[in-house]
Amino acid sequence: MSITIDQISKTFGRFHALRDVALDIPEGKLTALLGPSGSGKTTLLRIIAGLESSDSGRILFGGEDVSNLHVRDRNIGFVFQHYALFRHLTVAENIAFGLESLPRKQRPSKAEIRQRVEKLLEMIQLPQLADRYPAQLSGGQKQRVALARALATQPRILLLDEPFGALDAKVRKDLRRWLRALHDEFHFTSIFVTHDQEEALELSDQVVVMSQGQVEQVNTPTELYAKPESRFVFDFLGHVNVLSGAVKNQKLAQGDAWVSLPGHRSEQEAQLYLRPHEVHLARAPSVHARLPLRIDAVSLIGSEVRIELVPEGWHSEEIWEIGMSHNEFAQQNPSRGELWFAVPDVGHLFSGDNSQPKTVDWQYAEAANACNM
Amino acid sequence: MDTGHRRVGDQPWVRRTLIGIALLVALFMLVIPVVVIFAEAFSAGWSTFAGNVTDEYTVHAIGLTLFVAALTVPLNLVFGTALAWSVTRFRFPGRKLLITLIDIPFAVSPVIAGLLYLLLYGRNGWLGGWLASHDVQLMFSWPGIVMVTVFVTCPFVARELIPLMQQQGSEEEEAGVVLGASGWRIFRKITLPNIKWALIYGVVLTNARAVGEFGAVSVVSGNVRGETNTLPLHVELLYQDYNVVGAFASASLLAAIAMLTLVVKAFVEWRQSRPIVSTPEKEVS
């Protein structure tokens, strides 16, 4: 069942939690609401669920306006951030709660409920814990029980609020994979809220990036990472290296650093955004860029070597990060305290107030130059 | 030398002195007075005690006291639960003020509370005059006693529940609504089990105070023997009549109720501190 969010606004006192949010959540897909805390993502989720009312706008489930429908009647599954398991009921009783709350006419018989609960317990791989109380479960187990409880009434929509926030890294990874598999099997429409970009990119079919109560960008994880449409999305998804300065004579310059911008005629303040994998290190400046940096730290853990650098003779608000393969690292052997030059391959230029970036590709330019010669 | 490991006050003489003082104070201020109550009550023998306790006026005082408690406790149970629910589950203007107002009965001397009620509902009071013209008499009769007792004890249940309900939050109830449960079902199946022991604790305290209240009741009751005399007032009357043994006999009844309350309170506290892990371990195959 698809969900349409139509011009939803919400204020808490003077705080604008959501401003005219419009969004389409496709049927059967796993959508992530991603944003920093205070961006309005949880509020939006709670409004979709009906736990919170919006000041204006409508929520539609499969084209039907449910804005005035009580939470009780929306037939959604909701997994709370801290699970919210009923502490005085056993695991089995927790899972059965939704079924037992159904109006008498729709309520399955006791035997049927027991059967359904058993099935769900199998699904979450915890049949041996049916008679335990929530206090006796680990975080991961609680999360599974919360999911089983939410799915017991077979909702068509599943909403999850920071589902993995309170778990440790290992359990989180396992559960993520498990949730993905579960979703692929049952195909309900799911929305989950997260502030973890990695989680959003890995788990979802569609990511909605939110900031200050507004939707910044909606796209598939791959597209989103490759083509961020605003500075905010750029900053929020992964590390980014920034050179901010003034453009003059087709060159972006600040202090001792400059980068050539072939064909860039307008002259104004601009920022060049570079992902760690879009830059490489060299002993000497290249033809199109001079970015002197001193190595501050080298991190060898992981599939890539991560090098942290501090600008030399120019200024950057955050440190620079450049990734290289272990192979390259072994050949070049950059070490702490040395002066190196960053050479950008591809970059994204934000100039003036223009929020859409322009992609600059030096590799392509060099190749073209080489052909012309 | 291992003096470096000693914390301040770890020396044996400090420990012994402190424990000794605590025990002495408890002995002279708490234990001996309680023992004396019973010793005095029985000083003229069992039969006198029985006679004192079965005295017509004493029996009436016992009855009235229990009657007042029986009305006060349920009233405050409902009021306290509703109050705690509203201030912890809803956000509304004046909420903080309301939480502060709950404590007024703690802050105000009971005698003043009694006087206020007398001024308000007495024959010459603002509302009392109007009530009197409709033949309703609240002061100097049992409704007045119940009213001031409710006033004096109204924070107990709410005060017990509010911190607990704040700490537990409303997520479980929200989960219940999302799962389609009705308001009543949520209260019965989720809220009530979660607050049960705090509620009982509040009731025990309310009951203890309702039975023992003296100041406020003495102002509004009028001390009519056999009519508006509660047990604490009766003790005072007997004492003023130089019937010391009789006074202590009635006092011993109050002390007995108090000790029963303590036992129940201790049990509830013990229950509350226990985590909810009471299922028999099932064999996992």
**Buried-state track B138-169, b at ≥16 Cβ within 10 A, e below 16:** bbbbbebbbbbbbbbbbbbbbbbbbebbeebe
Q: What is the CATH number of the domain that holds B205?
A: 1.10.3720.10
Please state, in angstroms and rounded to a whole number, the distance separating the CA atoms of residues A207 and A220. 6
pLDDT in 10s for each residue of chain A, 373 residues: 899 999 999 998 888 899 999 999 999 999 999 999 889 999 999 999 999 999 999 999 998 999 999 999 898 999 998 899 999 999 999 999 999 999 889 899 999 999 999 999 998 889 999 999 999 999 889 999 999 999 998 898 999 999 887 788 888 888 888 888 888 888 889 999 998 888 898 889 999 999 999 999 999 999 988 888 888 888 888 888 999 998 888 889 998 899 988 877 778 888 899 988 889 999 988 888 999 999 999 998 888 899 999 999 999 988 999 988 999 899 988 889 999 999 999 888 888 776 788 888 887 666 655 555 4
Name which of A82, A87, A135 is nearest B194 (Cβ-Cβ).
A87
Do B17 and B88 lie in a common domain? no
Do B102 and B10 lie in a common domain? no
Choose, out of A87, A121, A129, the residue to mutate when testing the contact with B (most B CBs < 10 Å).
A87
The reply to whether residue A149 touches residue B180, judged by beta carbons under 8 angstroms, is no
The reply to whether residue B194 touches residue A88, judged by beta carbons under 8 angstroms, is yes
The closest of B188, B197, B166, B162 to B81, measured between CA atoms, is B162
Please state, in angstroms and rounded to a whole number, the distance separating the CA atoms of residues A30 and A179. 10
Choose, out of B178, B191, B279, the residue to mutate when testing the contact with A (most A CBs < 10 Å).
B178
Do B184 and B239 lie in a common domain? yes
Do B93 and B53 lie in a common domain? yes
Write out residues 354-373 of A within 8 Å (CB-CB) of B: none
Contacts of B177 in chain A (CB under 8 A): 51, 71-72
H or E element at residue A151: helix A139-151
Do B154 and B187 lie in a common domain? yes
The model's pLDDT over B84-128, given as tens digits with 9 standing for 90+, comes to 999 998 888 999 999 999 999 989 999 999 999 988 888 888 888
Q: Answer whether B107 touches A (CB < 8 Å).
A: no
The reply to whether residue A84 touches residue B193, judged by beta carbons under 8 angstroms, is no
pLDDT at B277: 53
The reply to whether residue A51 touches residue B177, judged by beta carbons under 8 angstroms, is yes
CA distance A21 to chain B (A): 23
State the total domains in chain B.
Answer: 2
pTM of the full predicted structure?
0.78
Please state, in angstroms and rounded to a whole number, the distance separating the CA atoms of residues A364 and A370. 10
Write out residues 60-119 of A within 8 Å (CB-CB) of B: 71-73, 75-78, 80, 82, 84-90, 97-98, 101-102
ipTM for the complex?
Answer: 0.79
Do B23 and B59 lie in a common domain? no
Q: Answer whether B181 touches A (CB < 8 Å).
A: yes
Do B134 and B34 lie in a common domain? no
Do B202 and B239 lie in a common domain? yes
The model's pLDDT over B207-260, given as tens digits with 9 standing for 90+, comes to 999 999 999 999 998 888 888 889 999 999 999 999 888 899 999 999 998 889
Write out residues 7-66 of B within 8 Å (CB-CB) of A: none
Please state, in angstroms and rounded to a whole number, the distance separating the CA atoms of residues A177 and B86. 41
Name the residue of chain B whose CA is nearest to A99's CA.
B179
Q: Convert A59-70 into a string of H (helix), E (strand) and C (coil).
A: EEECCEECCCCC
Inter-chain CB pairs, A–B, below 8 Å: 74
Given pLDDT bands bounded at 50, 70 and 90, which one contains residue B156? very high
The reply to whether residue A133 touches residue B277, judged by beta carbons under 8 angstroms, is yes
Q: Convert chain B into a string of H (helix), E (strand) and C (coil).
A: CCHHHCCCCCCHHHHHHHHHHHHHHHHHHHHHHHHHHHHHHCCCCHHHHHHHHCCHHHHHHHHHHHHHHHHHHHHHHHHHHHHHHHHHHCCCCCHHHHHHHCCHHHHCCHHHHHHHHHHHHCCCCHHHHHHHHCCCCCCCCHHHHHHHHHHHHCHHHHHHHHHHHHHHCCHHHHHHHHCCCCHHHHHHHHHHHHHHHHHHHHHHHHHHHHHHCCHHHHHHHCCCCCCCCCHHHHHHHHHHCCCHHHHHHHHHHHHHHHHHHHHHHHHHHHHHHCCCCCCCCCCCC
Is beta strand A257-260 parallel, antiparallel or unpaired with respect to A251-254?
antiparallel
Do B5 and B108 lie in a common domain? no
Do B18 and B59 lie in a common domain? no
The reply to whether residue A80 touches residue B174, judged by beta carbons under 8 angstroms, is yes
The domain of B55 spans 46-284
Contacts of A102 in chain B (CB under 8 A): 180
Name the residue of chain A whose CA is nearest to B93's CA.
A13
Neighbour count for residue A136 (Cβ, 10 Å)? 16
Do B97 and B166 lie in a common domain? yes
Do B73 and B170 lie in a common domain? yes
